[in-house]
Structure 1
Amino acid sequence: MDNDQIDKLLHSYISGTITPQESRQLEAWGDESEENRQILDLIEGHSDLGSELSRMYRYDKEQVWRKVCEEDRRYMRRSRLVRLLRIGAAAAVLAGMLVSGALLYQAGERLDPNRNRLLTTVEPGARRAVLELSSGEQVFLADSVRTELSERNVRIEINGDEIAYTASEKSGKQAEEAYNTIRVPLGGEYSLTLGDGTRAWLNAGSSITYPLRFGSRRCVTVTGEVFFEVAPDSRHPFVVSVSGVELTVLGTSFNVMAYEDEPCIETTLVTGSLRVAAEGEETLLSPGLQAGFDKSGGGLTVRKADVEACTMWRRGLLVFYDEPLRSICRKLERWYGVRIDTSSPTLDGVLYTGMIKRHATLNTIADLMNLTNDVVFTEDGGVIRVVRKSE
């Protein structure tokens, strides 16, 4: 079948007018290649992200088709194949959606190479960090590093991309007064299990400082972005200090984001309960809520959170809902370890809703943004610049 026939079949499917014979033709087309199957899986909600896509968009097929037609009228100059791929993506996730895997790669390969001008291939971040012991000694952490250390009768097991602490009965007070720090560089991520069984995932450009063994209170200090699954212990509260904000929990899971270049410190609760205190203010969160502390003096606020958008980074995805392009680019800067200039006033009001697979190259993501929302990525002197394409 040629592209005109496929266009017609997709139109019939999305508009709900497809006949049994056309449905069989569409399925046969889907079986012809992995790329075709990716498109059908996305449209039908059967991809590995299908349930999340359905929850995010709750899309109406007729409404989606109208959006696709509007896009078609704007981009008639593009090749039929590129337009077909856009229809496949847009039908599943509305205009502006970024999806992962082979479909993204194939679409990126077929774009007009003159639209984006990135001179180099920007690879994604990797699991790496630096462990600083209480003695000042530094240990590089990466997938290939497997070793065991001992400090003040505490066993430190390093197994690739994770590190775990086990305190012996002999460790005592000296272990409570000795601190380790894990620092994750830009373009990195890492995870660890603390001595009490609490798990922590560190995003790019983040750090966590903690005692080798916890005392009456389990206290840690973090910078950047960290997701916690706190081991329950009703007698020993778990306290996280971050840039003047104190978070107190007994057993729960939550995400805290406190990068220096972000205007707010955001704490998003997934399970359990969490007390947030900052500059004399205090609030108690329940699951699904987010506390924000405005660094410019706006105090504490509480709102309903898009939990997936705040926590899916640790599962290899960036998820965003009507998020400004500039905010997304700050995340891309940290993960890819590059400088992205978004100072152009043409970007005011540019919003995206969708997903980005963190382990795709930045070039692939830039190509899809270029296709869906008319933004152009260029590179000059090691700096990536983003502007809105002129109409």
Structure 2
Amino acid sequence: MIQNLIVKYFTRQASLSELDQLSKWIEDPSNKEEFIKYVKINHVIDLNVKKFGTDDSKIQLLQFIEREKRAAKMRKFRNFVKYAAVILMVLGIGYLFKNEIINSGSDTLDPKTKTAVEVVNIIQTGTDKAILTLEDGTSIDLEKGKTIQTENIKSNGEELVYDSSNKITTEIAYNYLTIPRGGQFHIKLADGTLVWLNSDSQLKYPVAFAEGTTRIVELIYGEAYFEVSPSTEHKGASFKVLNASQEIEVLGTEFNVKAYKDETNIYTTLVEGMVSVSTATTTQVLKPNQQSNLDLKNNTIIINPTNVGQEIAWRRGLFSFKSKSLQEIAMVLSRWYDVDIEFSTPELKYVKFNGVLKKEEAIEEILNSILTTNSVNAYEIKNKKITIK
């Protein structure tokens, strides 16, 4: 049924033949109402469905499907492209991808609006990787396919697990887990607390926790999701997450902390349980589905209701952008794909975009989705630098 094709199209699961079938169906004016009905409930791409009856908007959609067909081919032959790109680089040959954007008010495409994307090298999608720094200063690279095991820890390259039977009563030794740009990692602390770390983050924590005392870790910078082992399993010992600007105290809960070095706000989102967020001058208590916003410029905390699913989508392998500016989105993408993103004009930074996209997608596919916004006409990739035009 055509409804299934629409869903498969928006979730990027349609085959090339199905995309051809959908293109032909959309060209029939009698299908307008049914298409609008299904687009309105879609959360992947924000299209101006009210104006779908115009020739311009119809052509724009058809062109977007054409780009998706090219993206589907790219996904199918991605491994081939990686090797081909290396060969082309050696030969000094430029490789061009063209993404066609509609020229408003015309049934034909103006060559000036075509997007030429020069691929000088392949930008890798983020993956599981981290650097573990031991108490003696030794650094160990953690990555997929690499197994590490010592007396107290083990790693399969995707997560790091500490020995839960190791209880100490003397001086506490600390380890650091650093997640570079283009990475993410999962760690199980010695008390059983689970922590998921996002790109460009660093966590300081004890190798083992002293019994009966407050369990303390420090999110030095970045973003982390905590699933804290209950205090009832640790003789009532509470759990604290420190940062240079705030302190979070919990008894047993799930929450997300976002405290990046290049941002002027720290966001704490409570999923379940209860936490208190404190600074040098104030303390606020969070309830589930609430978020605290600490403004580092004036040291004030504001509590707001929030969409928890959207805030922790990164842990489920998704980018969730709801009315986010391209400047905010660029910061997220730059960390995950380890790239620098700039804008050809300052106005583009404030263009809004709505979308839920998979982190496993190639950067070109993410950028093609952003091209659906009326204000963005093109992008260019050169080495590790992306320019939005």
The TM tier, using the shorter chain, reads 0.7 to 0.9
Give 2:35's aligned residue: 14
Assess, with a 3 A threshold, how the Cα gap between structure 1 residues 283 and 67 changes in structure 2: closer, same or farther: farther
Query: Equivalent residues in 2 for 1:353-372 (5 A)?
Result: 353-372=354-373
TM-score, normalised to structure 2's length? 0.75
Assess, with a 3 A threshold, how the Cα gap between structure 1 residues 188 and 73 changes in structure 2: closer, same or farther: same
Alignment partner of 2:372: what SS? helix
Assess, with a 3 A threshold, how the Cα gap between structure 1 residues 143 and 4 changes in structure 2: closer, same or farther: closer
Which string of whole-angstrom CA distances, capped at 9 and with x for unpartnered residues, describes residues 225-265 of structure 1?
Answer: 00111111141111001122000101111110000111200
Aligned-pair Cα RMSD in Å: 3.2
The 8 Å contact of residues 98 and 115 in structure 2, kept in 1 or not, is answered as no
Offset of residue 112 of structure 1: 2.6
The 8 Å contact of residues 7 and 84 in structure 1, kept in 2 or not, is answered as no
Query: Equivalent residues in 2 for 1:94-105 (5 A)?
Result: none
The answer as to 2:218 corresponding to 1:221 is yes
Give 2:50's aligned residue: 66
* Whole-Å separation in 1 of the counterparts to 2:74 and 2:299: 40
The letter for the 2-side match of 1:123 is Q
* Whole-Å separation in 1 of the counterparts to 2:184 and 2:373: 29
Offset of residue 110 of structure 1: 8.2
* Whole-Å separation in 2 of the counterparts to 1:69 and 1:111: 23
* Whole-Å separation in 1 of the counterparts to 2:334 and 2:98: 25
Offset of residue 386 of structure 1: 1.7
* Whole-Å separation in 1 of the counterparts to 2:359 and 2:143: 18
Query: Equivalent residues in 2 for 1:174-185 (5 A)?
Result: 174=170, 177-185=172-180
Query: Equivalent residues in 2 for 1:61-210 (5 A)?
Result: 65-69=49-53, 72-74=55-57, 76=59, 81-82=62-63, 111-112=99-100, 114-119=114-119, 120-150=121-151, 155-168=152-165, 171-174=167-170, 177-210=172-205
Assess, with a 3 A threshold, how the Cα gap between structure 1 residues 141 and 183 changes in structure 2: closer, same or farther: same
Offset of residue 305 of structure 1: 1.2
* Whole-Å separation in 1 of the counterparts to 2:284 and 2:189: 26
Per mean C-alpha deviation after superposition, the further-off stretch among 246-255 and 135-144 is 135-144
The 8 Å contact of residues 195 and 212 in structure 1, kept in 2 or not, is answered as yes
* Whole-Å separation in 2 of the counterparts to 1:246 and 1:340: 32
* Whole-Å separation in 2 of the counterparts to 1:244 and 1:286: 21
The letter for the 2-side match of 1:111 is N
Per mean C-alpha deviation after superposition, the further-off stretch among 120-129 and 322-331 is 120-129
Alignment partner of 2:229: what SS? coil
The 8 Å contact of residues 121 and 363 in structure 1, kept in 2 or not, is answered as no
Which string of whole-angstrom CA distances, capped at 9 and with x for unpartnered residues, describes residues 9-68 of structure 1?
Answer: 64242367xxxxxxxxxxxxxxxxxxxxxxxxx7697xxxx8xx4xx99x9xxx974243
Offset of residue 6 of structure 1: 4.1
* Whole-Å separation in 2 of the counterparts to 1:252 and 1:104: 42
* Whole-Å separation in 2 of the counterparts to 1:15 and 1:286: 38
Which string of whole-angstrom CA distances, capped at 9 and with x for unpartnered residues, describes residues 191-214 of structure 1?
Answer: 010011110001010011111111
Alignment partner of 1:300: what SS? strand
Assess, with a 3 A threshold, how the Cα gap between structure 1 residues 75 and 355 changes in structure 2: closer, same or farther: same
The letter for the 2-side match of 1:149 is T
The letter for the 1-side match of 2:34 is Y
* Whole-Å separation in 2 of the counterparts to 1:304 and 1:195: 33
Assess, with a 3 A threshold, how the Cα gap between structure 1 residues 381 and 316 changes in structure 2: closer, same or farther: closer
The letter for the 1-side match of 2:193 is T
The 8 Å contact of residues 129 and 157 in structure 2, kept in 1 or not, is answered as no
* Whole-Å separation in 1 of the counterparts to 2:118 and 2:307: 32
* Whole-Å separation in 2 of the counterparts to 1:133 and 1:366: 39
List runs of 5+ in structure 1 lacking aligned partners. 17-41, 89-100
Assess, with a 3 A threshold, how the Cα gap between structure 1 residues 3 and 291 changes in structure 2: closer, same or farther: closer
Offset of residue 359 of structure 1: 1.1
Question: How many residues were matched structurally?
Answer: 328
Assess, with a 3 A threshold, how the Cα gap between structure 1 residues 322 and 116 changes in structure 2: closer, same or farther: farther
* Whole-Å separation in 2 of the counterparts to 1:66 and 1:103: 31
The 8 Å contact of residues 343 and 349 in structure 2, kept in 1 or not, is answered as no
Assess, with a 3 A threshold, how the Cα gap between structure 1 residues 343 and 280 changes in structure 2: closer, same or farther: farther
Offset of residue 371 of structure 1: 3.4
User: Which of the residues 231, 234, 249 maps onto 1:233?
Assistant: 231
The 8 Å contact of residues 118 and 377 in structure 1, kept in 2 or not, is answered as no
Give 2:335's aligned residue: 334
The letter for the 2-side match of 1:258 is A
Assess, with a 3 A threshold, how the Cα gap between structure 1 residues 298 and 245 changes in structure 2: closer, same or farther: closer
Assess, with a 3 A threshold, how the Cα gap between structure 1 residues 286 and 296 changes in structure 2: closer, same or farther: same
The 8 Å contact of residues 198 and 229 in structure 1, kept in 2 or not, is answered as yes
Which string of whole-angstrom CA distances, capped at 9 and with x for unpartnered residues, describes residues 157-209 of structure 1?
Answer: 2122011111435x5234x5100110010110000100111100010100111
Alignment partner of 1:144: what SS? coil
Percent identity between the two aligned chains: 29
Offset of residue 304 of structure 1: 1.1
* Whole-Å separation in 1 of the counterparts to 2:241 and 2:223: 12
Give 2:301's aligned residue: 300
* Whole-Å separation in 2 of the counterparts to 1:103 and 1:321: 28
* Whole-Å separation in 2 of the counterparts to 1:374 and 1:278: 40
List runs of 5+ in structure 2 lacking aligned partners. 1-20, 77-96, 102-113
